[in-house]
Amino acid sequence: MKANDIVDVTPDEVPRIMQVYGVKTLIHGHTHRPAIHKLQIGEQAARRIVLGDWDRQGWALQVDEQGFALAPFDFAPPPQLAAPAN
Q: Give dist(CA 33, CA 7) in Å, integer.
A: 9
Binning pLDDT at 50, 70 and 90, where does residue 73 land? very high
**The length of the chain, given as a count of residues:** 86
9: which residues sit within 8 A by CB, 6+ positions away?
28, 31, 48
Residue 81 predicted with pLDDT over 90: no
Does the pLDDT value for residue 6 go beyond 70? no
Instruction: Please state which CATH number belongs to domain 4-73.
Output: 3.60.21.10
Residue range 64-85: mean pLDDT, rounded: 84
Q: Give the global pTM.
A: 0.76
pLDDT (0 to 100) of residue 3: 55
